[in-house]
Amino acid sequence: MNLKTTTLLTSLALSVFAVSGCGITRTLGLKDEGGDGGLNSVGASTLALPLEFPHVVYSLTDASESYWMSSVPVDELIAGKLQNGVIAHVQLLWRPYPGKTPTSSSALNLAVRVLVVSEGKMGLYSGAGFADPSGDAGDSLVELIVMGSSLTLVAKTEGFNDLLSPCALTADVAARLSPEDTVRFRRGAAQLLTNALAQPRWVRASPSSEAAVADAVDTQVLLAALLGAEIVSTSTELRTR
């Protein structure tokens, strides 16, 4: 196995460990923006990538809450020369309320996208999950715990070596309310993908991961829908914001 193509874990984490050691527990009273988590394989490898998210912002949309969690500052992302980093976008579609909505982690109230960049090579993971927020929507700082999710690699640039898919994102973060920075994170991530596409190096992750996508759909449209659009209902309707 080529050493350069295996830096997904070595360049972004100090160690690789069993998924059983990556549980997330609620930490009440977070005072500062940021947090940590993991991108954990649920396949045969049972490997995990521990993550730190010092930069976490959120904003309110028409019918949901949009969170961006990043290992790098938004200015570095916008510069377009990112070599290593993880940027996650989670869209909270509804808040769990005991007695009114499902509160089990087996329920789904998140749309999840995770962009992993390793030595300039990129992999995009997408799926759904469950999160439990604390604090009121619109507070200057809220806590979000992503308790579980199911993700698969949907697209990658040439040379990106996927060691995790299928995998799950977990996180415990404090998010700062900032509509401006959520827009900047979205635009920076979308531009990073556009630049990769412009180099004609974007390739299919695997035939099975895109089986549900019509062959006629352009890859760039697919990526825009995955990362640059907000879900505005629980149906399949997407609207770019």
What is the domain partition of the chain in residue ranges? Answer: 3-18+30-239
| Tens of pLDDT, residue by residue, the chain (241 residues) | 343 333 444 344 332 223 333 444 444 455 689 999 999 999 887 888 999 999 999 999 877 899 999 999 999 999 998 999 999 999 999 887 766 555 555 678 899 999 999 999 999 999 999 999 998 999 999 999 999 899 999 888 889 999 899 999 999 999 999 999 999 999 999 888 878 766 433 444 554 444 333 332 334 444 554 554 444 433 333 333 4
The pLDDT value recorded for residue 13 is 39
Which amino acid belongs to residue 18? A
Contact 128, 110 (CB under 8 A): yes
- The neighbour count for residue 96, using CB atoms within 10 Å, is 17
How far from chain centre, in Å, is Cα 76? 17
The pLDDT value recorded for residue 128 is 94
C-alpha closest to that of 175 among 135, 118, 231: 135
Burial class (CB in 10 A: 0-12, 13-18, 19+), 105: middle
Q: How far apart are CA 75 and CA 124, in angstroms?
A: 21
